[in-house]
Amino acid sequence: MRNKGFVAFLTVIVSLWVLYILSFSIVSRGVQKDATKFATAADGTVDPIKKQTYLDSVWNKPVYNFLGLRQFTYKEVKNNEISLGLDLQGGMHVTLEVSPVDIIRGLSNNSQDSAFVRALNKATARSKNSQQSFSSLFFDAYRTDNPGKKLAPLFATASTRGRISLNASDSEVISIVEQEIESAIDRSFTILRNRIDQFGTSQPNIQRLQGTGRIQVEIPGAENPQRVRKLLQGVAKLEFWDVVEVNTLNNSLISINQLLVNEQKQKTNSGEAKKENKSLENLLSSDSIKRDSAASSLEQSLANAADSSAQGLDSLQNLEISPLFSLSTPQGSFRYDLKDTATINKIFRRDDVRNRLPRNVGVYWANKEDKYNSRDVNEEPKLQLYFLDLGRNGKARLTGEVITNATNDLDDKAQPAVSMRMNATGTRIWAKWTSEAAQKRSRIAIVLDNLVYSAPFVNSEIPNGNSQISGNFTTEEAKDLANILKAGSLPAPTKIVEEAVVGPTLGAESIQNGLISIVVGFIIIILFMVVTYNSSGWVADAAVVLNLFFLLGVLASLNAALTLPGIAGILLSLAIAVDANVLINERVKEDLNEGKPLSLAVTNGYKNAFSAIIDSNVTTLIKGFVLLAFGSGLIYGFAVTLIIGILCSLFTSVLFTRLIFEFFTKRGKTINFSFAWSRNLFRSINIDFIGKRRMFYTISGLIVIAGLVSLGIKGLNYGVDFKGGRTYIVQLDKSVASEDLRATLGESFGSAPEVKTYGFNNKYQITTGYLIDDDSEEATNNAELKLKEGLNKFSDKATVLSSTKVGPTVASDIRLSAIYALGIAMGLMFLYILIRFRKWQFAAGTMVSLLHTVLVVVSVFTLLEDIMPFALEIDQSFVAAILTVIGYSINDSVVVFDRVREFLTGMKSGESTPTVINNALNDTLSRTLITGMSTIFVIIILFIFGGETIKGFTFAMLIGVLVGTYSSLCIGTPVLVDFSERSASKKKLEPAKA
């Protein structure tokens, strides 16, 4: 082996790097443990609010000192740990869609033109079964129904003035409309990104789903779904207000200060301040502050603030200064550390404090921290408190509706700025307002969702409605502010088209099931290899351990969330790593049985197994990347872990194990590759696979025909993510017959839902299409009320453990993506086999084997649907299982065909092709059965301990692995023989015809 020193060096370096990365997860678990201990009462119960308060208090404090070289705050530690998916820790997953219908209607100034309305309706209907963009469907429908009619008259409105004229071409109009739709999505993304920080949870995630107009939001630990829905779907409220400068409020602020100082003195004299000192450490930190500052006003946000009596009074050195002034930095500027904003919020919530401010003055926070002196790099960022003039009626003089356009720009100093343009109404009001503000040299605040994004001074009157806002912006900040200013220019509401809520109870069960699966599966793999391969099995086990170690390190470094299907991907990748070691060990055993020395046998073993290992891993990677491209949610997590696991196994199984073998063989150490009983394991079997192929064809044909007949009668049992609907996992305090539950819920919903048992402990899975076409929050709340109404007839202690909603449009997209994923995966694998083996017969045999595997698995699912005690549905998990099975089946076929090609290359004269191929199949049978057994053991562990969430997924994989092994031996290879014989016969006949 060449470059042994480099491989050893790389192994050490990567191991140290992984240790460093995983250390953050260990530290994070320690902090979590301390928080739990802090929040545990005498009776053993844990107060979640108290626990979160503890975590917030250390959020920006050092909790990890790495070798004395650098200190990391808890926030930095959390950002580097292995995060858990929502299915493992609970929380809420939401997919929002920005309504393109409303955007197009708004650009047309709500046109009532019959052709326009008809085209919108057609596009809406077609979008449910198409992956084309809505704008493309609309323009196609309009131009088909109105040939020769121009689009410009529809969209040359006040909101598009200066961009679309009456003489604009159709292509120009289409381009601008699509730009506006894209801009609206960007706008919504910016607003939502600022909103989700308020939930007080660790690592909220928001991302755009490119090419779909959808935005995906994940909020771990969210315990109030109604509040989340309301906030995410709420229309952005953009307003402009006059800023009330601090120096005009001196009397009010002095009065407030005196009130707090007097109160402080009384508490100091009575000793109450000492009692309050203990709660100072529990001041809410950044997450809670952001939650406070995003409410409808400061008064309303204070009502939602965490209940904390911390005032920080006795921590002050000067008893004549209240927290209002002492916590402000610099003195009197009303800019505060994040940890102190909860204290300020509590002060302004008090009626006696509010009464000392003018009635027209409102109190608002800035949307983000900033530095008072931007040149001072050592200054800690602060959050600024603004006082705004709300007028007599509390209505803004201008709102976002008057803005027709806003773009990021450069000011006269070539610094990032924002330009905005208003409509006629806004221009008239803005001119008068800016004239007044310029005379007073005052500021106007730009407020979105009750957070101040900018408060620029007005230097002069702006008569034409075209304004430029300059400040200490970065380019990204200027772009965000431009998006925010455009938020009210067009109606672009968001609607929830998909959501999943996982309760903490179900998450805790998933964690337990996942840990048991990993531990038991890992033990099975290790024992299996040692029992089968003696001391070389220990080397393989070391490679598997290192593979798992590297895999977790890479997951942590990528900040990828670990999900329950992700755990399944880990175990499957370990099983594939074992397969590589099995291939190598079996090849080494062959040479040892022929009497070759150990060192030569090891060299030949790696050389002969290398091509099969590469082929099998490449085909599995193809499948993984297809899942990565077309999968979402849990399936995406499965694909990520599988791909990382495969890449890690190539290093550990091929390079690391050989390094160990050569280390021992060069020192004269003996390594045993088998026990006496396993030396010729499965090698004495001699099955006539080719001669009995008609029997195999018949058996498979009967199973597939039975499945197709059942399919024709019952149809496919689509899961909720393929057909749309609402699914709830509920738990009752007593056992109830599924039929009784179904009948009762049918009265509540108006039609009977699907009801299936969900594991044990009186859990049930309920699926209904109730109000699924209605994306409003009221429809979701109404569905939950109907569910509880029906459940309460059986138990007043019914608990909804999780809920999932998938709209029909999303379901259609997911279904089409699944079809594309299957087609593309099979096409890519066919091309790879064709290129690798250079004969179409090999590729054709592989495709027949794969198609047979898919048909048999679908048939088994259909036939056993009403027999199995768990749900057998055709959903995303099933497609992932099918793709996994396809990958396994092609992996098996590649190894078998590699041996077939080897035997055909060395075929002697007089030997028939069927005989040679049959010998090749029997020769590789030991590897096929050993690999199949190890993989099946792992899947059985997943099936037993993995929990109900992946029960159907693991069952499909279990059936698929069995069928895939059978297909490669009994279907794919015989088909290869039949195609080869026909091709040979055709060649013999061609000269005679000539």
Residue 468 confidence (pLDDT) above 70? yes
Give dist(CA 367, CA 450) in Å, integer: 9
Rounded to 10 degrees, what is the CA torsion of 222, 227, 229, 235?
-130
- pLDDT-based confidence at residue 309 (cuts at 50, 70, 90): very low
CA angle 407/412/417 to nearest 5° reads: 30
191 versus 29: which is more confidently predicted? 29
Q: Calculate mean pLDDT across residues 289-293.
A: 37
Per-residue pLDDT averaged across 924-951, rounded? 78
> What structural domains and CATH numbers belong to the chain?
1-81 (no CATH), 100-193 (no CATH), 239-388 (no CATH), 397-492 (3.30.1360.200), 693-709+812-993 (1.20.1640.10), 725-806 (3.30.70.3220)
**Tokens for 845?**
């045999």
pLDDT at 464 over 50: yes
Place of tokens 């079996």: 586
pLDDT tens, residue by residue, 341-370: 778 888 888 889 889 999 889 999 888 777
Query: What does the block give as tokens for 150?
Result: 């121009």
pLDDT digits (tens, 9 = 90+) for 476-514: 778 777 777 776 554 466 777 877 777 666 666 666 777
Question: Can you give the pLDDT at residue 311?
Answer: 34
Mean pLDDT on 939-957 = 78
State which amino acid sits at residue 979: F
Residues facing residue 217 across a β-bridge: 94, 206
Q: Kindly tell me if the per-residue pLDDT of 774 is higher than 80.
A: no
Provide the pLDDT for residue 504.
63
Using the predicted structure, report yes or no on whether residue 306 has a pLDDT greater than 50: no
Tell me the DSSP string of 432-480.
Answer: HHHHHHHHHT-BEEEEETTEEEE-PBP-S---SSEEEEESS--HHHHHH
pLDDT band at 705 (very low <50, low <70, confident <90, very high): very high
Greatest mean pLDDT among 208-222, 334-348, 351-365, 584-598 lies in 351-365
Q: What percent of the chain has pLDDT over 90?
A: 2
744 has a pLDDT exceeding 60: yes
How far apart CA 976 and CA 138 sit, in angstroms, is: 49
Between 992 and 604, name the one with better pLDDT: 604
Banded pLDDT at 986 (limits 50, 70, 90): low
- Give the tens place of pLDDT for each residue, 225-234: 776 777 777 6
Q: Between these two residues, 373 and 990, which has the higher pLDDT value?
A: 373
Distance (Å, whole) CA 190 – CA 487: 10
Q: What is the pLDDT of residue 913?
A: 77
Strand, coil or helix: 714? helix
Bridge partners of 467, per DSSP, are: 420
What mean pLDDT do residues 367-390 have?
Answer: 76
C-alpha 762: how far from chain center: 30
When pLDDT is averaged across residues 310-318 and rounded to a whole number, the result is 34
pLDDT at 874 over 90: no
Residue 280 has pLDDT above 80, yes or no: no
User: 146 with 115: CB under 8 angstroms?
Assistant: yes
The per-residue pLDDT for 328 is: 75
Q: Calculate the average pLDDT of the chain.
A: 78
Confidence of residue 389 (pLDDT cuts 50, 70, 90): very high
| Of the candidates 271, 281, 241, 457, the residue with the CA atom closest to the CA atom of residue 364 | 241
Q: What pLDDT is stored for residue 369 in this prediction?
A: 78
Buried b (16+ CB within 10 A) or exposed e, 652-663: bbbbbbbbbbbe
Model pTM? 0.65
Q: What is the DSSP letter of 197?
A: G
| Lowest mean pLDDT, pick from 48-52, 185-189, 952-956 | 48-52
Q: Which of 266-270, 411-415, 588-592, 902-906 has the lowest mean pLDDT?
A: 266-270
Give dist(CA 617, CA 879) in Å, integer.
20
For helices 657-665 and 598-630, give the axis angle rounded to 10 degrees.
Answer: 170
Q: What is the pLDDT of residue 388?
A: 93
Choose between 111 and 872: higher pLDDT: 111
Q: Residues near 970 by Cβ (< 8 Å), separated by ≥ 6? A: 689, 693, 696, 700
* Residue 2: predicted pLDDT: 67
Per mean pLDDT, which range of 21-25, 310-314, 720-724 is the poorest?
310-314
- Higher-confidence residue of 280 and 951: namely 951
Q: Is the pLDDT of residue 272 over 70?
A: no
Which H or E run includes 93?
A: strand 91-98
